[in-house]
Amino acid sequence: MKILPDSIKNGYLRLMNPIADFLVRRRVHPNTITIWGTVIYIAGGAVYATGHISIGGWLLGLTALTDVLDGMVARRSNTSSQFGAFLDSTLDRVADGFTMGGLAVFFAFSPVHRSPTMVAVCITGLIGAFLTSYTRARAESLGLDAKVGMLQRPERVVLLSAPQAFFGLALNGWVLTIIIYILAITAWITVVQRILYVYRATQPQREAVPELDSGSDSEPSEYRQWGRRSRRETAVRPALKGE
């Protein structure tokens, strides 16, 4: 089960094609796009911390562009590299930290919406976001592509930006509160889904032992261990990032 259907993601990618082509023509390096996207994330987290939730949501909405464009530009300009993939993944963690951290600071110091419970939920959601990425990276080191689960990066970006941009602190902050709970719960569900996926994928699959006919000279077939998939290529950034 996914929060965002693939049809929406594919439609969004088609809309980004002209922008990606323009950036390629202007020879914009994908790492530059990645870095600027992280700067916007940091700014959005800082704005969240000050309590300007709607403005922060619109800022983070811009990162939906950079999250897609860096990979598209890298492939179309033939500038994909292992360092680019490493930088992209590393700065994504910086972005997650500042965004959820900014919301935690807001709930810790807001005179109106101060809530130790929500600070704890924000921290729990941040840990879940980090583990979502880690579980996939660790699975890849085993030769598995654990891109499964409810909450991948596109869904997280949407939930961190769109509701806040349009609703801000509507209904006395309940819209924001519900979104953060959804982020935290679905992140941990995704972590469990990936752990189960890797567990099942790494268990040896045994063939049934055929019954021997009386007097037959045939021997039981040997148990064969299920072969792991080949390692996913990590040097090229995906079209739409998921963790």
CB atoms within 10 A of CB 228: 11
Name residues whose C-beta falls within 8 Å of residue 118's C-beta, 6 or more positions apart in sequence: 103, 104, 107, 177, 180
Domain coordinates of the chain in residue numbers? Answer: 7-201
CA 234 to chain centre: 15
Tokens 């996914």 correspond to 2
From 67, 70, 88, 92, the catalytic residue:
92
Give pLDDT tens digits for 102-149. Answer: 999 999 999 999 999 999 999 999 999 999 999 998 998 889 888 888
The CATH superfamily assigned to 7-201 is CDP-alcohol phosphotransferase transmembrane (TM) domain (1.20.120.1760)
3-class SS of residue 226:
coil
Task: Report angle CA 216, 218, 220 to the nearest 5 degrees.
Answer: 120
Burial 56-88 (b: 16+ CB within 10 A, else e): bbbbbbbbbbbbbbbbbbbbbbeebeeebbebb
Could you confirm whether 92 is annotated as catalytic? yes
Give pLDDT tens digits for 179-188. Answer: 999 999 999 9
- Put residue 223 in one of left, alpha, beta given phi > 0 → left and psi -120 to 50 → alpha: beta
**CA atoms of 59 and 55, how far apart (whole Å):** 6
Global confidence as pTM: 0.78
Give pLDDT tens digits for 57-89. Answer: 999 988 888 888 888 899 899 888 889 989 998
